[in-house]
Amino acid sequence: MELKKFQTKEEVDNYFAGDEIECLLCHKVLKAVGGKHLFLNHNITVEEYQIMFGLPHGHGLVCESSAQKMANAIKKRIENGDKTLTSLTPVLMNKAQHSLKRKVPPYRFNQMRQAAQVANQRKKEESRKRLLNIDGDKILAKIEELKCKRLGVFGKGLFLSDNDIWKKRHVDPAFREKYKAIMEKYKVKNILKNQVVELLKQGFTPYGIAKQLPISKTHIRRIQKFYNP
């Protein structure tokens, strides 16, 4: 029989809430499902029980009221200056950091995934707003002036990268249509082909040409492949 693991934080909180806690193996109601009960009755450890039902490793198998009483007792001992309590020394901190890592419980994994989805959605919205607020006409005017669509790569002092131009084309339909019209008007690579051939005749390397013209080294090599100086 497959045991059902806790899938949400609410389910875990409800399990520990109240003045008693149930053993999920024998369904006895106890103040605490401690190691003694698990070992004597079920021959398993506390950690095995936690993994079995997807419970957090940092929470003892005690009901909420008992956990609160224990926390208050420890707090009181600290306030009274009890020196028997082990302090978190650098050695213990290092040991904890390098100890064997446990698997994340399913409920915690679901919680982390939901948080990541919310964060990613927020970043997408922020990126979309930023791109929409950029003056697309100014970018397009600069593209026409330089006859170059790869603005970010060639360091022309512009404020928009190639990746941002690509994104803006997808979020801004008006910008996309204007950009498409300009690209049809200016066939950048064809316009620069004659200049590339002339520079190759003069002995310039693809790297040297790429520094002078707004065209990639890859395309220069393509031209060079069909050109025999």
Where do the structural domains in the chain lie, given as residue ranges?
Answer: 1-83+104-133, 135-186, 187-229
State how far the Cα of 205 lies from the Cα of 46, in Å rounded to an integer: 69
CA nearest 147: which of 185, 178, 177, 180?
185
Give per-residue pLDDT as tens, 146-171. Answer: 665 555 444 445 556 777 888 888 89
Per-residue pLDDT, 66: 84
Ranking 28-37, 81-90, 164-173 by mean pLDDT, the lowest is 81-90
Average pLDDT along the chain: 80
What CATH number has the domain spanning 1-83+104-133?
Answer: 1.10.10.1550
Is residue 67's pLDDT more than 60? yes
Reported as a pLDDT band with limits 50, 70 and 90, residue 223 is confident
- Amino acid code (one letter) for 30: L
The answer to pTM > 0.85 is no
Q: DSSP letter at 213?
A: S
Is residue 121's pLDDT more than 90? yes
The structure tokens listed for 139 are 């970018």
Count the neighbouring beta carbons within 10 Å of the beta carbon of residue 225. Answer: 8
State how far the Cα of 43 lies from the Cα of 36, in Å rounded to an integer: 9
